[in-house]
Amino acid sequence: MNVEFEQISFENKRKSSKELSVIAREIRRDIIKMLVTAGSGHSGGPLGSSDIFTTLYFNGNMSFDKHNPLYEHRDRFVLSAGHMCPVLYATLANAGMFPKAELATLRKYNTRLQGHPGRDMGLPGIETSSGSLGQGFSIAVGMAMSDKLLDKTEKKVYSLTGDGELQEGSIWEAAMSASHFKLDNFCWIIDNNDCQIDGRIKDVMDVYPIDEKCRAFGFDTVVCDGHNFEELQAAFDVFLNNQKNKTGRPTAIIAKTFMGHGVSFMEDSYKWHGMPPNETQAIQALEEL
């Protein structure tokens, strides 16, 4: 299949829902192209979380500089569910962090776009290696602790976990630390699609009610439609206000999403957790998108 990546770089400023939907669609198309080219990788979670990434990176919620990705006062994002990296790579490329043509190297030998994010690969926008579930989230909490308690900066730290990842005990140890140390500069995003590789969350290891657990651990908790840009932005605004007003409360955003959103034969199916489309399926997916 002949795949081409159109070089587009979207600005990071407040936009309408219609403008954000254009970006999210481009990210989803890039995900499909990456996966069919690689012949391996995860489809469902990346497609389902594309609206979250679009709102975070392209609606003025995160401070970053595509010309100087390591500038000192940048905000940071850690993808704890590292297997979902196609959506992060597509987002960073559309933000202008690196040429979109490089997306075609996903999972190739010696590429910067490994199957899980690798900090040592030198890809702009990757703040830490991640993929061992629960560990990226703990690292992100440590970053927020360092910023707030030691450096006393105004930097923000975001971390996204899957809902199946909540089955890891280290998640709750780190969450307890975020609350205890009053990390109002920390935002926990939970991609709640109720799917993991072996089935539905409640069938594999029930973690519900997620919102009540987050509140019990001291997080200012917002539940929103993860495919509604207005609701997503309202949730991020709760975090931004907490950080600005120094409330001492970390924020948890529980974004209700559908795995494989935007592609009819993938939508809400855990079978697409870790499977790429073949060429015929990719053509259909791109037509639908």
Question: Is the predicted pLDDT of residue 9 greater than 90, yes or no?
Answer: no
Mean pLDDT of all residues belonging to the chain: 96
| Amino acid 1: pLDDT | 79
End-to-end CA distance of the chain: 17
Enter the tokens of residue 246.
């120094």
| Amino acid 223: pLDDT | 98
> Domain boundaries in the chain?
17-288
DSSP character string of 12-70 = -S---HHHHHHHHHHHHHHHHHHHHHHT-S--HHHHHTHHHHHHHHHTT-S---TT-TT
Asked if 248 contacts 184 with a C-beta cutoff of 8 angstroms, the reply is yes
Phi-psi region of 125 (alpha: psi -120 to 50; beta: other; left: phi over 0): left
- For 17-288, CATH gives 3.40.50.970
| Amino acid 2: pLDDT | 81
* Cα–Cα dist 170/44, whole Å: 24
Interval 86-108 mean pLDDT: 97
**132 phi/psi in degrees, rounded to 5:** -75, 110
Q: What percent of the chain has pLDDT over 90?
A: 97
Q: What percent of the chain has pLDDT over 70?
A: 100
* Cα–Cα dist 214/55, whole Å: 22
Question: Is the predicted pLDDT of residue 204 greater than 90, yes or no?
Answer: yes
CB count in 10 Å sphere of residue 48? 31
User: Residue 284 burial (CB < 10 Å; 0-12/13-18/19+)?
Assistant: middle
Question: Is the predicted pLDDT of residue 136 greater than 90, yes or no?
Answer: yes
